[in-house]
Amino acid sequence: MNRLSYFLLLAAILPSWLTAQSPTDPQESPEETPALTHFAAATVHPLATAAAIAAFEKGGNAIDAAVAAAVTLGVVDGHNSGIGGGCFILIRTADGTVTAIDGREMAPAAATRDMFLRDGKADTSLSQTGALASGVPGSLAAWEHALKNHGKLTLADLLLPAADLAEAGSPIDEVFARKLAAASSNLAKFPESAAVFLKSDGTPFTEGETVAQKDLAASYRAIAEHGSDWFYGGPFAESVDTWMKANGGIMTRDDLRNYVVKERQPLITHYRGYEIVGFPPPSSGGVHVAQMLNILENFDLKKMEPLPRTHLLAETMKLAFADRAFWLGDPDFAPVPRGLIDADYGASLAEKIDLSKATTVPGHGSPPDAETDVFDDFDRKHTQHLCTADAEGNWVSMTSTINTGFGSKVVVPGTGILLNNEMDDFSAQPGVPNAFKLVGAEANAIEPGKRPLSSMSPTLVLAEGRVIMAVGAAGGPTIITQTLQAIVNHLDLDQEVENAIGAPRIHHQWSPDVLRVEKAMAPQIIEGLKSLGHDVAPTTGLGVSQAITFDPKTVSFHPAHDPRAPGSAEGN
Ligand code: GLY
């Protein structure tokens, strides 16, 4: 969809937005619309990208544009992310400061280690659906924090157009319709959710049909008027408290009031002379992207043929995910060794890789100083990723989620707000896989106020002090391996951003010991991987990535959305 088409679509459903945002009226004189030379945005939905562009044209910067896209995605792509979920925002401002805003959900105060055990066994239906599944949402606090400290526009500026869009409704795309069909029987268990997402005969809306969300529109407007207090300390917190008490949940008004957004120290490592800025724990993404790059730095990827290079990537992923399962958790509760991103540790893991065959990785490794040098020393498909950038030099890489499709499936009555099921990202019981077949250990056990381990990996890559790439992905643990492959494709294989995120990819997460390979991968590589001993599972699509690259030679942005999903990217 080209830019004019965005505006024509917006004009049909969102007249107030057009009058508010544009220095010219694109409907009347499209040829006068200013060229997109000063900013870039890449998201999973054309209307969210349009909202980001509208924020830029209102005078906003990359931070405003990112929040504009995020609040719009909460309307048009609400099965993936929204105000009832959490996010990680990585920002690099024009003055070179990097900020990592942690808006990850927190376990309610009454949460307990064994809250999902029934007769001694983890019942993951409880962590995935219904009243116990949700952590305390952090996205709104994170958006507000980002805007207050780095934006030029107000939260109200960005929420009100999204409220109009929620009220008018918009036709759902193929992905929304598919996820809705899959979630419809669970959504039907909750009358308020059914009222929003199912038709009066109980069937789900289908592709192209319009879903209007009047309660969500009213909630956005209330927050625009009263600020986030409406959510964390006012009517929304009361509604959650009431619903949870009546439905066997544990989240209270005090849990909402006690939510804290955290600024964490960004995780900075180096790869072949580039600076890689990742998100620290409770993201596992920053740690393991860095760890895997440290392993790969011991090989000359550029010179390798595609089959040994793909095999090497798979072996690298296995080693990193074995460590993830044991060492990673919320650093405020569990000691996460900084040695995981130590270059020498990466080199020692590289030595374990046999380029002639797949190796069984029995378990986690032993990073240096694992007991003493830990991340809490710092300063004190599902999901979506978006990137924005502006001419001043501000960049945002933001990943947001309510976890699996439609989260807990619970819409809080009278609010239109769909709650996440992020409690499933904790390890409910050692060795018991969650929705993503991930296993965890003590480090990621449930504790009150703790944040579940995440794979979200918003990343920035710098060369000579300038950002040259913002990248991240959606899709559970494949987020980490998608981000790795996009970086390697761009930095090592010189691929343009479209190919870097569009090229067929693989995923290995140690457990289960299966190598998932996109079917679009060349057949000779797939066969070659099998002959090297991998248990290959052909897969239609591994996640959805978004990225923006910057070419210092041409001084131009190159935003790209993943061809696997109907996103959009604008700017130059
Ligand atoms: N909910 C998916 C993740 O944060 O990894």
Q: Which of 87, 289, 456, 544 to mutate to test the pocket of ligand 1 (most atoms within 8 A of CB)?
A: 456
Confidence at residue 7, expressed as pLDDT on a 0 to 100 scale? 36
Question: Which of 287, 399, 422, 426 has most ligand 1 atoms within 8 Å of CB, for mutation?
Answer: 422
Q: What spatial distance separates the first Cα and last Cα of the chain, rounded to whole Å?
A: 16
Residue 12 has pLDDT above 70, yes or no: no
**With 0-12 CB in 10 A as exposed, 13-18 as middle and 19+ as buried, what is 9?**
middle
Strand segments (E) across 141-191: 170-171
Write down the pLDDT at residue 381: 59
Q: Is residue 293 within 8 Å of 484, Cβ to Cβ?
A: yes
d(CA 385, CA 544): 8
Whether ligand 1 lies within 6 angstroms of the CB of 476 is answered as yes
- Confidence bin at 429 (pLDDT 50/70/90): confident
Ligand 1 centre distance from Cα of residue 403 (Å): 6
Cα-to-centroid distance, 456 and ligand 1 (Å): 6
User: Could you give the dihedral angle defined by the CA atoms of residues 185, 186, 189 and 192, in that order, rounded to the nearest 10 degrees?
Assistant: -100
Atom of ligand 1 nearest to the CA of 104: 4
Between 237-246, 373-382, 451-460, the lowest mean confidence (pLDDT) is in 373-382
The residues pairing with 469 across neighbouring beta strands, listed in sequence order, are 461, 549
What is the rounded average pLDDT of the residues 352-374?
91
Rounded distance from Cα 38 to ligand 1 centre (Å): 32
State yes or no: pLDDT of 32 exceeds 60: no
Owner of token pair 């939510």: 259
| CB of 43 shorter than 6 A to ligand 1 | no
Mean pLDDT of 182-206: 97
Question: Which of 310, 437, 432 has its CA nearest to residue 381?
Answer: 437
CB of 444 within 6 A of ligand 1: the answer is no
- pLDDT at res. 374: 80
* Minimum CA distance residue for ligand 1 atom 4: 454
Q: Is 425 in the pocket of ligand 1 (CB under 6 A)?
A: yes
| Cα 539 to chain centroid, rounded | 21
Sheet with 267-271: list strands edge to edge.
267-271, 274-278, 459-463, 466-474, 544-551, 556-561
Residue among 34, 121, 46, 41 nearest 77 (CA):
46
Closest-lying ligand 1 atom to the alpha carbon of residue 403: 1
Cα 156 to Cα 225: distance, rounded to the nearest angstrom: 7
Phi, then psi, of 567 in degrees rounded to 5: -85, -165
Alpha-carbon 137 to chain mean position: 14
Q: Please state whether the predicted TM-score (pTM) of the whole model is above 0.75.
A: yes
Q: Is the pLDDT of residue 119 over 70?
A: yes
pLDDT in tens, 84-97: 999 999 999 999 99
Residue 186 backbone dihedrals phi, psi, to 5 degrees: -75, -35
Alpha helices for 342-391 (secondary structure H): 343-350
Is it the case that residue 371 has pLDDT exceeding 80? no
Q: Looking at ligand 1, which atom is closest to the CA of residue 452? A: 4
CA distances from 381 to 124, 400, 402, 542, 545 (A): 17, 11, 10, 9, 11
In the predicted structure, residue 234 carries a pLDDT above the cut 50: yes
**% residues pLDDT > 90 (the chain):** 87
Query: Which of ligand 1's atoms lies nearest the C-alpha of 404?
Result: 1
State mean pLDDT over 312-329.
Answer: 97
Residues with a known catalytic role: 383
Judged against a pLDDT cut of 80, whether residue 29 lies above it is answered with no
Q: How confident is the model at residue 20 (pLDDT cuts 50, 70, 90)?
A: very low
The answer on pLDDT for 394 being more than 80 is yes
Between the CA of 25 and the centroid of ligand 1 the distance, in Å, is 40
What separation in Å is there between the alpha carbon of 148 and the centre of ligand 1? 26
Dihedral sign of CA atoms 195, 196, 197, 200 in order: positive
pLDDT, position 331? 95
